[in-house]
Structure 1
Amino acid sequence: MTTMNRPVQTDDVRRDLADRYPPIADHALVGDGETAALVGLDARVAWACLPRFDSPAVFASLLDADRGGRWDLPVQDLRSSHQHYLPSSAVLVTELTTGTGTLRVTDALLLDGALEPRRSVATHAFGRLLEVTSGTVSVRSLLRGRDGAPVEGAVVPLPGGGERRLHLSSSRDTGAEHDLGVGERWALTLSWRGEPLDLGADALADALARTDEAWRRWSAGVSYRGRYADLVLRSAITLKLCDHHTSGAVVAAPTSSLPEAIGGERNWDYRFTWVRDAAYTVYALRRIGMVEESDAFLDWVLQACTREDGRPDVLYTLDGTFPAAEVEDEGFEGYRGSAPVRWGNGASGQLQHDVYGEILDCAYQYVRHGGTLDDGQWEHLERLGGLAERHHLTPDQGIWEIRDTGRPFTYSVAMCQVAFDRLARLAEVTGRPGRAEHWRTLADEVRTELLDRAWSEEDGCFTEHLDQPGTLDASLLALPLRRVVDAADPRMVATVDAVARELSAGGGLLFRYLHADSPDGLQGDEGAFLLCSFWWVDNLVQSGRLREGRELFESLVARVNHVGLLAEEVDPTSGEFLGNFPQAFSHIGLISSAVLLARTEEAGT
């Protein structure tokens, strides 16, 4: 399906779609380390893939309001709603106020035990405890399947057929509406592995309390106590919710195909693990005390990327394997008419040369923090360095994964230089001084060539591609973060200012690049990319512009939703969230910038 074949959205159509689809920001995330779900301000479960992040979507009303499947708790005469997490927890509370009373809904994917890396404590059950706290409330439980029809009885079919089923248990008749008074409760439990989990109200309350305790104990291990500590902790919990506890992989986001522009075709499946994200994630997690999660992710990355002797993949499944082919789901209309809906991600087969530097940076962090490399692992890492040496000047699809002819992206070349630099450092710390000299020489040569060919005297800044003045992209802001060039270098300062000027979306927001100047093979535009603005904060702080960096950071974190979550992008006109949600990269950016600001301010006192 292409943009040209889709009907134009008139004002009437847009209004109708907006009425049928709540804002992306009006949702909170619950999860158990194997999967996650989005719960709306109206208590609707609008997204859940079961039993894993990358399984078919059981509830996907965000992608098709009629046929996506959902779990509603409709109340009579709803007047307002409020939603919050329990402190230091991923247990969610939604309060629905009607004309006659208030209903509190406590939601969680239930846990059984302490949260520990490489160990699942999921009970494979979604618990929902309803309790009236004032007055009386009339409420139903209405679960609809992927065909849009109400599900009758206790057995819920999974998408795609087969023998596997979900089991819904309830302490009250699910076929009726119930008038609940103050203190009256209703327990609902949806389970999907083993015997059905049938919990009464007291038992479910106990299970929710144990789940809350598990999250609070885990949160106590987050070491950051500086300014913005509440936002950092919420971001840490959100990353943990995107963490596949058994393997150590971190999904980019738990959703698929939430659009980067309403009505556009830039809709991607993010329920995979990108090698690129790994080094940033590991760095951010370590800075706030999440050392075990960091180590688990490092182990996962190195295992996934050293299985074969050929070119490493750009992204992997939770199991470290190559994803299935990308397909378009013609049965779904897409969020607010934004088709196509995609499952799988075609970027997995692209050429992206930055992957060599990402893997080797992960390996360096692994060894730097106590890990060891045997001769076989070292040989494989050197093979990756050899691939970077052969291909670092050849065109690729770049960090933004363009679906167009490859180009010699500055960021890709820079990350190959990072590969050589990290190999040199690895050789030094692991007792291989002969190899260190080779890789250090290469790193220095490539860095000199890179900064020469990426610099444009005409533009007065570094450019998106080597030897091609006139275009910018926001990945240039990552060069100091990867130690390719110092943030205080006058050339980098000029580049930061150029990016801020030319790619500005207003309000402290940045576009990744301008599609008119940098074609990517797709139709339409996209929102402002939040991670790029956090990179901008880091550049300002590292170059000594602390006040500007703090003000920019505060403008960005003011955009978190009602429960502290961030999406991938923001519509610069309306301020609405766009793209998959919540986005791990955005929360990684928030953590890194908050820690950098705090440390810089502390050092200056």
Structure 2
Amino acid sequence: MPDDRYPPIADHAVVGDGETAALVGLDARIGWACLPRFDSPAVLASLLDADRGGRWDLPVEGVTGTSQRYVEDTAVVVTQLRTADGVLEVTDVLAVAGEFEEKRSAARQTLLRRLRVVEGRVRVASDLRGFDGAAVDGARVPLPGGEGGRTLRLRSSRPGAEAHELVAGDTWTLALTWAEEPEVWTPAEVDAAIEETIRVWRSWAEHVTYSGPYVDAVRRSAITLKVCDHHVSGAVVAAVTSSLPEAIGGERNWDYRFTWVRDAAYTVYAMRRVGMVEESDGFLDWVLDACTHDDGRPDVLYTLDGHIPGEEQDDDRYEGYRGSRPVRWGNGAAGQLQHDVYGEILDCAWQFVRAGGQVDDRRFDRLRHLATLARENAETPDQGIWEIRDAGRPFTYSVAMCQVALDRFARIARATGREESALEWEEAAEALRAELLERAWSAEDGCFTEHLDQPGTLDASLLALPLRRVVDAADPRMVATTAAVVDKLRAGEDLLYRYLHTDSPDGLEGEEGAFLLCSFWWVDNLVQSGRVEQARDLFEKLLRRQNHVGLLSEEIDPENGEFLGNFPQAFSHIGLISSAVLLDRAAG
């Protein structure tokens, strides 16, 4: 049964400043905020424990209806609360100043809330409390990595925490700040900061170049990726939340406030296609710095600073979203073997070179080292793209991405004038490709399969093979594989599971929802194999999955359409952008 203490995940908008983010509910509750950074402790976390988790409520007497919208081309959200006597408008913003371009912006390290009665009269209070009801004003929150901490301070333009009766035209401003030198935040200063933040976002949004038929969805997705972009380091977090469940009541609850190497190449591709060049270059630099700084094996995911996350820990203090335990901080996948990382890094490096980036001998040698690791480990079992918590297996996708590593390194060598190396690695890439396509093909099943030399199982990562140029989407074998994946993993008209746990054990209990990115991969395969109208129909069904402000989660419950998993999910918005661009190109 639904737990009324927990609003649907979809009933939220996200605000961000390039350092952290907060979720604002349709009821104006802020039930998630990690301060002062994405990967800091959760100061507000009622999404993970409605009673103890910490929240910032604006209790309004007699609410009869709510609505929510973004100020156009911004991450500034406006929530309206209606009563029989009036209408309250709440503007929420993580304040920024300067410009986003070329890292000339500055997070003002303040969460601003402006309450304004636009009609009639409204009685409203401010109720801010941390974990177990602890006072937030004056609390000290540590920075990740043991780098000291920040003190939280609350500034209010009206005295006390009791309810105030406001009439049309009245405002009440609130500022929760963790800046080292906090400002006073008078109402006039709050108004000015909100207008400045709107100006900064709109100035940045002018650089989003997509103008096709899905412009609203693409621009909102681009802004959402920008919210996930850590402007200091260039890293992009997978999502701003931790432990929102992939199935209600289940254990598939993970901390996504880190940067996955796997996401990098997809993210860079999507960003560059819609004009987010600065962010694309920043993420490329971050990936190459984090993953080629020594001659060791690259890791699967990193902190914003390019370090390995701390050990994954279960936090028994929280009951979890609608009872979905455990709540986790950190991510144990960081120590897994996932051989696709070689291809992701080399693909990023190839995009870097294509964009005019220079590769000196030192970096070239380190890229060669990664390509060598890919060649040596291509057929070694690993935990795969889906990060199974079970014994490793020879996943087709992992081998395919090792082939991508060899191919992209060969391209880098040729593009940078290293002809002898180019020839050697081109031959190695083609040999691995031929072996992969032979051993992954099952004549019995009539399609490529999830593992080498193991017929009978499928997973949706096979849909990514054409996207990484391992096999053409129009190749009859790939067309047959796409049809088989859809037939086996379909979860409704427009949704796909990643895999079936009954066929592909992953070491975890319970089930999960349909994975949205896989549906966008399905769209891409249809486009690239010439079935454009079918792809467009599927894509438009997926657009109807967006919430009221255009955001997407990681997964969808096929039974009821509810959002599942961490939110908003960068990968889902990357998929949306890529599919929209492909459809636009197919239409000429």
* Interval of TM-score (by shorter of Structure 1 and Structure 2): over 0.9
1:169 lines up with 2:155 in the alignment: yes
**Gaps in structure 1 of 5+ consecutive residues:** 1-13
- Tell me which residue corresponds to 2:207: 221
Q: Distance in 2 between matches of 1:517 and 1:496?
A: 18
Report the equivalent of 2:326: 340
Q: Secondary structure at the match of 1:510?
A: coil
Secondary structure of 2:132 counterpart? coil
CA drift at 1:249:
0.4
C-alpha displacement at 1:118, in angstroms? 3.6
Q: Which of the numbers 328, 332, 342 marks the counterpart of 2:314?
A: 328
The residue number in structure 2 matching 1:239 is 225
Aligned structure 1 segments of 4 or more residues deviating by more than 3 angstroms: 117-120, 156-164
> Which residue number in structure 2 is paired with residue 521 of structure 1?
507
Which of 454, 458, 472 matches 2:444? 458
1:77 aligns with 2:65: no
Q: Note the C-alpha offset of 1:286.
A: 0.6
Which residue does 2:408 correspond to in 1? 422
1:116 offset after TM fit, Å?
A: 2.2
Residue 11 of structure 1 aligns with which residue?
Answer: none
Are residue 94 (structure 1) and residue 79 (structure 2) matched? Answer: yes
- 1:482 corresponds, among 458, 463, 468, to 468
Q: Offset at 1:145?
A: 1.1
Please say if 1:565 is aligned against 2:548.
no
Looking at structure 2, the residues matched to 257 and 334 of structure 1 have their Cα atoms a distance apart, in angstroms, of 7
Code of the aligned partner of 2:138: V
State which drifts further: 170-179 or 268-277: 170-179
- Secondary structure of the corresponding residue to residue 365 of structure 2: helix
2:455 is aligned to 469
Aligned with 1:599 (options 572, 585, 588) = 585
Alignment of 1:112-511 (within 5 A): 112-149=97-134, 151=135, 154-158=137-141, 164-511=150-497
Moved more, 194-203 or 369-378: 194-203
The aligned counterpart of 2:529 is 543
Q: Which of these residues, 10, 23, 27, is aligned with residue 25 of structure 1? A: 10
The change in CA–CA distance for 1:409 and 1:194 in structure 2 (over 3 A counts) is same
Q: Aligned letter for 1:40? A: G
Instruction: Report if the CA contact (8 A) 2:142-2:149 is conserved.
Output: no
Does the 8 Å CA contact 2:239/2:567 hold for their aligned counterparts?
yes
Assess if the C-alpha contact under 8 Å between 1:118 and 1:296 holds in 2. Answer: no
Q: Distance in 2 between matches of 1:558 and 1:20?
A: 26
C-alpha distance after superposition, 1:252-283 (max 9, x if no partner): 00000000000000000000000000000000
**TM-aligned CA distance change 1:360 to 1:61, over 3 Å:** same
For residues 371-390 of structure 1, give each alpha carbon's deviation from its aligned partner in whole angstroms, at most 9, with x where no partner exists: 00010000000011111111
Quick one: distance in 2 between partners of 1:164 and 1:498? 53
Tell me the amino acid that sits aligned with residue 281 of structure 1.
T
1:47 is aligned to 2:47: no
Q: Give the TM-score of the pair, scaled to structure 2.
A: 0.98
Deviation at 1:159, TM superposition (A): 7.6
Q: CA distance change for structure 1 residues 583 and 251 in 2, over 3 Å: closer, same or farther?
A: same
Match of 2:88 among 103, 113, 118: 103
Aligned partner of 1:43: which letter?
A: A
Counterpart of 1:587?
Answer: 573
Contact 1:527 1:572 in 2 (8 A): yes
Structure-1 separation of matches of 2:97 and 2:150: 23
Say whether the 8 Å CA contact 2:99–2:105 is kept in structure 1. Answer: no
Residue 144 of structure 1 deviates from its aligned partner by: 1.1
- CA distance in 1 between partners of 2:72 and 2:139 (Å): 33
Q: CA separation in 2, counterparts of 1:286 and 1:321? A: 26
Counterpart-to-counterpart distance in 2, 1:560 and 1:168: 34
Distance 2:300 2:201 in 1: 32
1:499-529 residue CA offsets vs partner (Å, 9 max, x unmatched): 1100001121000000000000000000000
Q: What do you get for the CA RMSD once the two structures are aligned? A: 1.2
Please give the alpha-carbon distance, in whole angstroms, between the structure 2 residues aligned to 1:326 and 1:303.
Answer: 24
Q: Residues 150 and 180 of structure 2 are in contact (CA less than 8 Å); yes or no, is this contact kept in structure 1? A: no
Structure 2 unaligned spans of 5+:
none
Distance 2:572 2:481 in 1: 22
More divergent stretch after superposition (189-198 vs 510-519)? 189-198
TM-score (norm 1): 0.95
Checking the alignment, whether the CA contact within 8 Å between 2:36 and 2:150 is kept in structure 1 is no
User: Are 1:534 and 2:520 an aligned pair?
Assistant: yes
The number of equivalent residue pairs is 585
Q: Which residue of 1 aligns with 2:20?
A: 35
Q: What SS does the corresponding residue of 1:431 show, helix, strand or coil? A: coil
Indicate conservation of the 8 Å contact 1:140/1:174, yes or no.
no
- Where 1:574 maps in the other structure, the secondary structure is coil
AA paired with 1:32? Answer: D
1:202 Cα deviation (Å)?
A: 2.0
Distance 1:499 1:371, change over 3 A: same
Pairwise CA distance, 1:193 = 1.7
- Name the amino acid aligned to 2:43: V
User: 2:396–2:452: 8 Å Cα contact kept in structure 1?
Assistant: yes
Q: Residue by residue, what CA displacement relative to the aligned partner does 1:334-368 show, whole Å, maximum 9, x if unpaired?
A: 00000000000000000000000000000000011
Offset at 1:201? 1.7
User: Counterparts of 1:159 and 1:106 in 2: how far apart (Å)?
Assistant: 28
The amino acid that maps onto 2:583 is L
* CA–CA distance in structure 2, aligned partners of residues 443 and 163 of structure 1: 49
Contact between 2:489 and 2:499, CA under 8 Å: does it hold in 1? yes
Following TM superposition, by how much is the alpha carbon of 1:157 offset from its aligned partner in structure 2, in angstroms? Answer: 4.5
Instruction: Look up the equivalent residue of 2:375 and give its one-letter code.
Output: E
Q: Distance in 2 between matches of 1:169 and 1:99?
A: 30
> Contact 1:538/1:549 (CA < 8 Å) preserved in 2?
yes
Residues 248, 323 of structure 2: 8 Å contact kept: yes
**For residue 22 of structure 1, what is the amino acid of its counterpart?**
P
Q: CA–CA distance in 2 between the matches of 1:196 and 1:290?
A: 32
Residue type of the alignment partner of 2:379: L
CA contact (8 A) 2:98 2:104 kept: no
Structure 2 counterpart of 1:200, one-letter code: T
- 1:147 to partner: Cα distance: 1.5
Cα distance, 1:119 vs. partner?
4.3
Aligned identity (percent) is 68
> One-letter code of the match for 2:55?
R
Say which SS state the counterpart of residue 33 (structure 2) adopts: strand
Where 1:419 maps in the other structure, the secondary structure is helix
